[in-house]
């Protein structure tokens, strides 16, 4: 069984060498913390990942949740994990002190545990991640009464939080939600509706489940303008503090390809006309509120994908170093001993591919984490800029790690050959687990339309301009380093192509309307994503080159040299892919808009 699943050395590189996370300490919100605190959090999370999350990685998959007599039974250790997360302060890490939190930056208090625990065991960390997200909505938009009622038990991990959006007729199309809340004169709404695919929507590893659910106040306007956010507890809290059933029923769970340790549930609200929901914030503004959680969840999904890929990378690296097979092509004496497969260029190529995807994705995600932190503590234009950059990059930071992570895990599996396909090694599970990520929290198709259809033209294109300025800043810095000039040159060309391709898409929008404009939005997202990761690799290569110039010790020198190798890999093998995508995006002939459905018949 592979031991290593994530590199704390690399996380430190992201925190302190590539980025200046310490700079956050100057803001009053984070003023009580220090680099020592950040380091301790990293260290503690690494220890918990190894001791608590990793040992359950296989078990939670093999002993998947069961639906028995209307109840969802999960692995008995889920309760312990969730409680230990609560007790360790991980669920409320970013919340204010007065709500039981630690006022940590997202890039430390959420990024690190999500990355480390997720690399060790994604299914196990999903429970607390969802609770953090749901509780975060209450922190932001709930009344004091709601905070008092729900937060104390959520942040200890006693109560599970969920985000309940999807309905049978409304998956990607939130417009079509029909869950309805009828007002009463008692301050609550009587809820009725069904929800599907709700992660951790019910289970016996907690004492209650608090659903942050989208629905409509009765007679609300149609479409997304009539969507409201409700708190719907599984068990409602009586005056005396005791719990009673709230007519929330779990109708079943899904058996699925991977991510098996977390139950995905079907829920029914109000089958007996006795389901109470409490409106969060104003009526009809629910989608806006929920976007806070969704945006966070999208970053979390990208991060989960990146770190599942990290676990796959280290497992295949370990195997490649140990497994003897074949000989160097330059000396094929059959009597010579076999070499470890890492000596074969094709294996090294697959390892570099994984390293480039994993560390490139983590770098982009960490950048997003910092934008999120800065957005919260800065003011005025700086705040707006951070918000715009985060909004723009969220679909990319969700999708690139998810889509490329699948290929990355697949490459890891391939390195193990037949063993990769077998249960004795973690690759087959990681390959199954990661496949959910391009689907949940908005499919890749939805992310593509979000990026091209919404984000690129946001504030008259200001988000896009800010982004290009960031990329150019990185190029300029790299241009000053002789070894990196060729890479800076390639990224300069890529940026020019990005501008050309983007302009073409908006010309299409103007001349041919939205259907044609967005018909290749997924291709555009892929194109955009590769360039964004090239940007992050150039930044990493710049930091690594500078660090190498200072003659570090052997371990560090290897680490930085690895960064430069992965950078060469990315620019040599991955970045050229934008040419093919650009060719399509510049020559969209409308095939997918005009082709008749009947042509698929035969």
475, 480, 535, 549, 582 from 486: Cα distances, Å: 10, 11, 13, 19, 21
Contact between 344 and its own copies (CB under 8 A)? yes
Measured from the CB of residue 82, what is the shortest distance to its own copies in angstroms?
23
Answer for which of 514, 546, 549, 552 binds its own copies (CB under 8 A) is 514
Measured from the CB of residue 148, what is the shortest distance to its own copies in angstroms?
35
Q: Which stretch binds its own copies (CB under 8 A): 93-101, 145-153, 182-190, 516-524?
A: 516-524
Q: What is the DSSP letter of 520?
A: T
51 versus 423: smaller Cβ distance to its own copies: 423
Q: Which of residues 90-149 bind its own copies (CB under 8 A)?
A: none
88 versus 572: smaller Cβ distance to its own copies: 572
Residue 449: how many other CB atoms lie within 10 Å: 22
Contact predicate 199/297, CB 8 Å? no
Please report which helix (H) or strand (E) contains residue 197, including its range.
strand 189-199
Residue 423: active-site member: no
Contact between 271 and its own copies (CB under 8 A)? no
Rounded to whole angstroms, the Cα distance separating 64 from 74 reads 7
Rounded to whole angstroms, the Cα distance separating 139 from 153 reads 13
Answer for which of 349, 383, 459, 504 binds its own copies (CB under 8 A) is 349
What is the pattern of x (binds its own copies, CB under 8 A) and - over residues 29-48? Answer: --------------------
Measured from the CB of residue 40, what is the shortest distance to its own copies in angstroms?
21
HEC sequence for 348-412: HHHHHHHHHHHHHHHHHHHHHHHHHHHHHHCCHHHHHHHHHHHHHHHHHHHHHHHHHHHHHHHHH
Contact predicate 388/463, CB 8 Å? yes
Answer for which of 28, 241, 334, 380 binds its own copies (CB under 8 A) is 334
Q: Which stretch binds its own copies (CB under 8 A): 19-27, 141-149, 178-186, 514-522?
A: 514-522
Residue 139: how many other CB atoms lie within 10 Å: 22
Rounded to whole angstroms, the Cα distance separating 342 from 325 reads 9
Contact between 553 and its own copies (CB under 8 A)? no
66 versus 140: smaller Cβ distance to its own copies: 66
Structure tokens at 469: 């300025």
Please give the backbone phi and psi of residue 5, each rounded to the nearest 5 degrees, phi first.
-130, -20
Among 414, 437, 413, smallest CA distance to 427 is for 413
Q: Which of residues 404-443 bind its own copies (CB under 8 A)?
A: 406, 410, 413-414, 417-418, 420-424, 428, 431-432, 435-436, 438-440, 443
Answer for which of 131, 444, 508, 536 binds its own copies (CB under 8 A) is 444
Answer for which of 310, 508, 522, 542 binds its own copies (CB under 8 A) is 522
Contact between 355 and its own copies (CB under 8 A)? yes
Measured from the CB of residue 119, what is the shortest distance to its own copies in angstroms?
14
Structure tokens at 401: 């790690």
Q: Which of residues 217-256 bind its own copies (CB under 8 A)?
A: 222-224, 254-256
Q: What is the DSSP letter of 257?
A: S
Answer for which of 55, 445, 461, 489 binds its own copies (CB under 8 A) is 445
Contact between 552 and its own copies (CB under 8 A)? no
Tell me, by CB under 8 A, how many residues bind its own copies: 112
Answer for which of 342, 377, 547, 548 binds its own copies (CB under 8 A) is 342
Give the ranges where 518-553 is alpha helix by DSSP (H): 521-548
Contact between 402 and its own copies (CB under 8 A)? no
Rounded to whole angstroms, the Cα distance separating 213 from 324 reads 53
351 versus 365: smaller Cβ distance to its own copies: 351
Contact between 601 and its own copies (CB under 8 A)? yes
Please give the backbone phi and psi of residue 3, each rounded to the nearest 5 degrees, phi first.
-90, -50
Measured from the CB of residue 16, what is the shortest distance to its own copies in angstroms?
15
Q: How many residues are present in the chain? A: 602
| CB neighbour list of residue 180: distance below 8 Å, 6 or more residues apart | 191, 192, 193, 215, 216, 217, 218
Answer for which of 138, 196, 397, 533 binds its own copies (CB under 8 A) is 196
Rounded to whole angstroms, the Cα distance separating 26 from 42 reads 20
Measured from the CB of residue 77, what is the shortest distance to its own copies in angstroms?
22
Among 284, 157, 140, 144, smallest CA distance to 224 is for 284
595 burial (CB, 10 Å; 0-12 / 13-18 / 19+) is: exposed
Q: Which stretch binds its own copies (CB under 8 A): 15-23, 104-112, 234-242, 342-350?
A: 342-350
Structure tokens at 3: 């031991």
Among 329, 401, 541, 380, smallest CA distance to 119 is for 401
| CB neighbour list of residue 232: distance below 8 Å, 6 or more residues apart | 164, 191, 210, 211, 213, 246, 248, 269, 275, 276, 277, 278
Q: Which stretch binds its own copies (CB under 8 A): 36-44, 273-281, 378-386, 511-519?
A: 511-519
Answer for which of 155, 210, 463, 521 binds its own copies (CB under 8 A) is 521
For residue 237, the SS3 value is: strand
Q: Which stretch binds its own copies (CB under 8 A): 37-45, 171-179, 180-188, 533-541?
A: 171-179
91 versus 416: smaller Cβ distance to its own copies: 416
Contact between 399 and its own copies (CB under 8 A)? no
The active-site residue out of 441, 470, 526, 574 is 441
Answer for which of 34, 485, 515, 546 binds its own copies (CB under 8 A) is 515
338 versus 465: smaller Cβ distance to its own copies: 338
Among 564, 530, 559, smallest CA distance to 545 is for 564
240 versus 602: smaller Cβ distance to its own copies: 602
Ramachandran bin of 596, using left for φ above 0, alpha for ψ from -120 to 50, beta for the remaining angles: beta
Answer for which of 22, 343, 477, 479 binds its own copies (CB under 8 A) is 343
Contact predicate 249/211, CB 8 Å? no
Contact between 595 and its own copies (CB under 8 A)? yes
521 versus 531: smaller Cβ distance to its own copies: 521
Contact between 1 and its own copies (CB under 8 A)? no
Measured from the CB of residue 272, what is the shortest distance to its own copies in angstroms?
27
Contact between 346 and its own copies (CB under 8 A)? yes
73 versus 79: smaller Cβ distance to its own copies: 73
Contact between 311 and its own copies (CB under 8 A)? no
Please count the CA atoms within 13 angstroms of the CA of 146 that sit on its side-chain side.
24
Q: Which of residues 481-500 bind its own copies (CB under 8 A)?
A: none
512 burial (CB, 10 Å; 0-12 / 13-18 / 19+) is: middle
Active site residues: 441
């Amino acid at each position: 069984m592979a031991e290593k699943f994530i590199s704390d050395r690399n996380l430190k590189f992201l925190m302190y060498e590539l980025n200046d996370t310490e700079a956050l300490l100057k803001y009053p919100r984070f003023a009580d913390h220090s680099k020592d605190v950040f380091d301790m959090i990293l260290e503690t999370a690494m220890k918990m990942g190894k001791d608590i999350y990793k040992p359950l990685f296989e078990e939670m998959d093999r002993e998947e949740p069961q639906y028995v007599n209307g109840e969802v039974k999960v692995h008995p250790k889920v309760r312990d994990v969730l409680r230990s997360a609560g007790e360790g302060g991980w669920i409320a890490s970013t919340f204010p002190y007065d709500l039981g939190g630690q006022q940590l930056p997202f890039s430390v208090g959420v990024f690190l545990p999500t990355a480390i625990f997720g690399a060790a065991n994604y299914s196990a960390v999903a429970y607390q991640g969802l609770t953090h997200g749901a509780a975060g909505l209450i922190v932001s938009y709930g009344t004091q009464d709601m905070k008092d009622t729900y937060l104390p038990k959520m942040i200890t991990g006693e109560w599970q939080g969920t985000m309940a959006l999807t309905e049978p007729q409304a998956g990607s199309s939130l417009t079509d939600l029909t869950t309805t809340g009828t007002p009463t004169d008692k301050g609550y709404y009587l809820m009725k509706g069904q929800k599907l695919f709700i992660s951790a929507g019910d289970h016996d590893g907690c004492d209650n489940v608090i659903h942050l659910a989208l629905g409509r106040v009765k007679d609300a306007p149609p479409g997304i303008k009539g969507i409201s956010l409700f708190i719907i507890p599984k068990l409602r809290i009586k005056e005396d503090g005791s719990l009673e059933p709230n007519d929330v029923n779990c109708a079943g769970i899904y058996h699925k390809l991977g991510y098996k340790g977390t139950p995905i549930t079907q829920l029914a609200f109000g089958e007996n006309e006795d389901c109470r929901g409490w409106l969060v914030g104003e009526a009809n503004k629910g989608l806006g509120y929920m976007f806070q959680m969704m945006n966070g969840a999208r970053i979390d999904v990208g991060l989960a994908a990146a770190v599942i890929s990290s676990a796959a990378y280290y497992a295949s690296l370990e195997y490649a170093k140990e497994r003897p097979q074949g000989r160097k092509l330059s000396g094929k004496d059959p009597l010579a001993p076999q070499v470890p497969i890492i000596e074969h260029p094709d294996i090294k190529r697959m390892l570099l591919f994984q390293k480039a995807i994993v560390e490139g994705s983590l770098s982009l995600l960490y950048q997003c984490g910092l934008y999120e932190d800065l957005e919260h503590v800065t003011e005025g234009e700086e705040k707006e800029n951070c918000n715009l950059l985060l909004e723009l990059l969220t679909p990319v930071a969700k999708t690139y790690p998810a889509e490329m992570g699948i290929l990355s895990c697949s490459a890891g599996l391939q390195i193990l050959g037949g063993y990769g396909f077998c249960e004795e090694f973690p690759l087959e599970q990681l390959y199954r687990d990661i496949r959910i990520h391009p689907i949940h929290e908005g499919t890749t198709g939805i992310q593509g339309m979000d990026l091209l259809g919404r984000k690129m033209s946001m504030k008259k294109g200001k988000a896009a301009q800010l982004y290009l300025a960031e990329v150019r800043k990185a190029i300029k810095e790299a241009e000053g380093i002789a070894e990196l000039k060729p890479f800076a040159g390639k990224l300069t060309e890529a940026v020019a192509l990005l501008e050309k391709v983007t302009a073409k898409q908006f010309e299409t929008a103007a001349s041919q309307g939205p259907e044609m404009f967005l018909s290749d939005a997924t291709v555009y997202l892929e194109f955009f994503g590769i360039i964004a990761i090239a940007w992050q690799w150039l930044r990493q290569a710049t930091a690594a080159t500078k660090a190498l110039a200072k003659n570090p010790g052997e371990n560090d020198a290897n680490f930085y040299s690895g960064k430069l190798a992965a950078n060469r890999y990315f620019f040599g093998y991955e970045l050229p892919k934008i040419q093919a995508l650009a060719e399509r995006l510049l020559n969209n002939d409308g095939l997918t808009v005009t082709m008749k459905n009947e042509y698929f018949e035969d």
